[in-house]
Chain A
Amino acid sequence: MFVISLIGFSIQDNLGDPLRELVGQSVSEAERDAMRERMGLNDPFLVQYGRFLSKAVQGDLGNSYFFKKPALEVIAAKFPATLELVIGATFIIVVFSVPLGVFCAINPKSWFSKFIMGFSIVGISVPVFLTAIFSIYIFAVELGWMPSYGRGETSDLLGWQSGFFTWDGFVHLILPSFSLASIMMPLFIRLIRSEMMEILQMDYVRFAWAKGLYPARVWFVHALKNTLLPVITVGGVQVGTMLAYTILTESVFQWPGMGFLFLEAVNRVDTPLIIAYIIVVGLIFVVTNTIVDLVYTWVNPTVKLVGQKS
């Protein structure tokens, strides 16, 4: 139900968009009228909307003014780059935040936990574009360890232009992924820590201790699994934020992904491309929310999918 309302929202959001194709074009009023007539923009609102919708369903979102190609095609070409960035960042976030969060929850008083907590609040306070700028400055310009811009060499894997499998492409991924991860990681460390500390106080964890289990089993089987439930929910919500941050990261690193493309489209007032981007983002929301729901159901036995017998 939640997912459906999301779809409704993202489509509604696009209601007014076709009308703006006119804006920013320096033509006379008369020409404009003629053009409106030709483009069917004087038709009643619902008719236009219906037309837009039926085309959209067929995957036709109009041609990009700048690229003179179907907008969806242009976006699809950039999609893998963004996806790789998100996968890289997600990987970094998971690999770091879970062990660090768990460590801080288990040893709240150790100096290392205090250091991590202090570090995480600094991490939250530094905007992602600053992390990006200064990581370029330090690692690419000053130290020269990493490339600063672009995506590097890509290899063709079943039609997928991937940067994962060439050394150059991989090295290009490191800084952008870390920058993108830098803002979410502290958030997740803090979240995992506080959830886990709460779980460790629960009776079933105490009972697990009373059963004489090994500490590793109590922490990682009994406590961690319950900790991850709320974390998964928050993670789903954060996907949207992550996408927004890809725009920032991509613009700093000139990463040829969807976000960078979107910014260019905004500057060029390339309306079909803007709309296409919004729709693709809406679609990503729906898909990730569905995936998160599925994962949640899979991890949490107390929630059963409709249709599954309980």
Chain B
Amino acid sequence: MALLEVKDLQVEFPLGRKTLQALYGIDFALDKGERLGIVGESGAGKSVAAFSILNLLSKPGRISGGEILFEGRDLSKLNDKEMRTIRGNRISMIFQDPMMTLNPVLTIGTQMVECLKAHRDISSAEAREIAISKLREVMIPSPENRMDSYPHELSGGMRQRVVIAIALLTDPSIIIADEPTTALDVTIQAEIMALMLELCKTNNVGLILITHDLAVVSQVTERIMVMYAGRVVEEGYTQEVIKNPRHPYTRGLLKALPQENRPGQRLNQIPGSMPALDAIPAGCAFNPRCEFADGDCVKAVPDLVGEQGHRAACVHVDRIPAFVGAGGAE
């Protein structure tokens, strides 16, 4: 059985008179040490999916259906106290912007030690030792001194390393990383990504990487899940999906990547934009932006079809020509 299994997860935001549906029943699974990428434009519901695992949805969002099975227990049914034993202990999170993630008025040491002490019955001195060793693992120079630093005294890249160290503190079995490199300088992005990949491999930690960057996903993850308007539109082994995308939306995302071998060429964009939560089109939500759309597309929401390991939710899967997008990101 998989370590984490999400079944038919539905999330809604009740707002006054109307209720907005953010997730329409999504399924995915993660094995021990496996790395999964969740991809999509902003508003696709990928962050909502990630936050709902730890029940950290921003108000008034709530899980309205489905199960989140972690080691056989349904996380969505745990009370606050039981949830605390999971959060930051068995499953950790890394947020997008390291400038905002660390509390500006507390030292790095305080923020690391408090996390350890919340989950382990150890002394402050022991917690401090563990924290320093984790800072060393994420390649922070002179970690002993950094323990007494405040976040504003560190650079963005250093701060994200600290956040990663905090995520690793309790040797969790899963790390959920929500766009962990988006807010960083391009040069540092690759460094941080490489560090995360290496740490996950050496510690055998599962990773759920949320990003809109297909290039990053293809380098880091084994499996990929493409989301659009609160639904999964394509999922499978990363290399399979990248080389042979079946859903027009995935194709669009891949085409939009800059091509290394064709400098100077115009970037391809998907026309239009992600629909708002209260204006999702009938049928396949992508149909107004899709070059292959016809009358069949508005009839019903298509199911994921195909063999295990590569499925796509498009009624025209068979009609869509082979992808010739010049090798994707590789």
> Direct contact between A and B in the complex (CB less than 8 angstroms)?
yes
> What residues make up the interface of A, taking CB atoms closer than 8 Å to B?
201-215, 217, 221-222, 225-226, 229, 299-302, 310
| A300 to B152 CA separation, bound complex (whole angstroms) | 11
**Other-chain residue from B54, B88, B95 in contact with A213 (beta carbon distance below 8 A):** B88
- Of chain A, the residue at the smallest CB distance from B85 is A212
Q: How far is the CB of A45 from chain B (nearest CB, A)?
A: 50
State whether the Cβ of B115 lies closer than 8 Å to any Cβ in chain A. Answer: yes
Additional 15 contacts, C-beta under 8 A, given A207-B163, A208-B103, A212-B85: A204-B104, A206-B58, A206-B95, A207-B93, A207-B95, A209-B56, A210-B56, A210-B87, A210-B92, A213-B84, A215-B80, A226-B104, A299-B105, A301-B152, A302-B152
- Contact partner of B87 (CB less than 8 A), chosen from A209, A222, A310, is A209
In the assembled complex, the CB of A296 is this many whole angstroms from the nearest CB of chain B, namely 11
Contact status of A300 and B93, CB under 8 A, knowing A204-B100, A212-B118, A212-B119: no
A228's closest neighbor in chain B, by CB? B105
For A225, the chain B residues whose CB sits under 8 A away are 103, 105-106
Instruction: Confirm or deny: B192 has a beta carbon within 8 angstroms of a beta carbon on chain A.
Output: no
Contacts of B96 in A (CB 8 A): 203
A212-B86, A226-B105 are known contacts. Are A206 and B118 too (CB-CB below 8 A)?
Answer: no
Q: Does B102 contact A (CB under 8 A)?
A: yes
- On chain B, the residues within 8 Å of A299 by CB distance are 105
Show 19 A/B contacts (Cβ-Cβ < 8 Å), sorted by A.
A203-B95, A204-B102, A204-B104, A207-B95, A207-B102, A207-B163, A210-B54, A210-B93, A210-B95, A212-B83, A212-B84, A212-B86, A217-B114, A225-B105, A225-B106, A226-B104, A226-B105, A300-B105, A302-B150
Interface centre among B80, B86, B106, B119 (most CB of A within 10 A): B106
Task: Say yes or no: B105 contacts A301, CB within 8 Å.
Answer: yes
Q: A211-B114, A212-B87, A217-B118 are in contact. Are A302 and B106 (CB under 8 A)?
A: no
- In the A-B complex, the 6 residue pairs with the closest CB atoms: A212-B88, A212-B87, A211-B88, A203-B100, A301-B150, A210-B93
- Interface contact B118-A213, CB-CB below 8 Å: yes
The residues of B that contact A205 with a CB separation of less than 8 Å are 103
B131 to chain A, nearest CB (A): 13
Q: Does B76 contact A (CB under 8 A)?
A: no
B101 on the interface (CB 8 Å rule)?
A: yes
Q: Give min CB distance, A188 to chain B, whole Å.
A: 20
- With both beta carbons as reference points, the residue of chain B lying nearest to A206 in the complex is identified as B56
How long is the Cα–Cα vector from A301 to B100 in the complex, in angstroms? 15
Considering the chains assembled together, what is the distance between the CA atoms of A229 and B83 in angstroms?
A: 31
* A209 CA to B92 CA, complexed, in Å: 10
Distance, CA A208 to CA B112, complexed state (A): 10
Q: Which chain A residues lie closer than 8 Å to B144 at the CB level?
A: none
Nearest CB of A to B16, in Å = 14
Q: Are A211 and B115 within 8 A (Cβ)? A: yes
CA A214 – CA B96 in complex, angstroms?
Answer: 23
Chain A residues with CB under 8 Å of B89's CB are 212
Chain A residue nearest to B87 (CB atoms) is A212
B41 within 8 Å of A by Cβ? no
Which of B's residues lie within 8 Å of A, judged by CB? 54, 56, 58, 80, 83-89, 92-93, 95-97, 100-107, 114-115, 118-119, 150, 152-153, 163, 166
Which label, helix, strand, loop or mixed, suits the secondary structure of the B interface? mixed
Q: Select B115's contact among A204, A213, A226, A300, beta carbons within 8 Å.
A: A213
| Interchain CB contact under 8 A, A211 and B166 | yes
Which residue of B has the minimal Cβ distance to A207?
B101
Query: Nearest CB to that of A222 among chain B residues?
Result: B103
Give A218 to B282 CA distance when docked, in angstroms.
42
Q: Is the CB of A214 within 8 A of B152?
A: no
A210/B150 in contact, CB under 8 A: no
| Closest beta carbon of chain A to B78's beta carbon, Å | 12
How many angstroms between the C-alpha atoms of A310 and B152 in the bound complex?
A: 11
Give complex CA distance A225, B85 in Å. Answer: 25
Question: Hey, which chain B residues are within 8 Å of A207, CB to CB?
Answer: 93, 95, 101-102, 163
Bound together, the chains give a CA A213 to CA B111 distance in angstroms of: 10
B169 CB to closest chain A CB (Å) equals 9
CB distance from B208 to the nearest CB of A (A): 13
Residue from A202, A209, A310 within 8 A of B100 (CB atoms)? A202
Query: A residues within 8 A CB of B103?
Result: 204-205, 208, 222, 225-226
Q: How far is the CA of A208 from the CA of B110 in the complex (A)?
A: 12
Q: Which residues of A contact B114 (CB under 8 A)?
A: 211, 213, 217, 221
Measured between beta carbons, the chain A residues less than 8 angstroms from B87 are: 209-212
**CA–CA, A203 to B166, complex, Å?**
15
CB distance from A225 to the nearest CB of B (A): 5
For residue A53, give the distance in angstroms from its CB to the closest CB of chain B: 42
Compute how far the CA of A214 lies from the CA of B119 in the bound complex, rounded to whole angstroms. 10
Complex alpha-carbon distance, A300 and B106, angstroms: 9
List of B residues within 8 angstroms of A221 by Cβ: 106, 114
Distance (Å) between the CB of A196 and the closest chain B CB?
14
Compute how far the CA of A209 lies from the CA of B114 in the bound complex, rounded to whole angstroms.
Answer: 12
Collect the chain A residues with CB atoms within 8 Å of residue B105's CB: 225-226, 229, 299-302
Q: Write the nearest CB–CB distance from B214 to chain A, whole angstroms.
A: 25
Give CA–CA (A215, B87) in the complex, Å. Answer: 13
**A217→B103 CA distance, assembly (Å):** 13
Bound complex: CA A55 to CA B42 (Å): 70
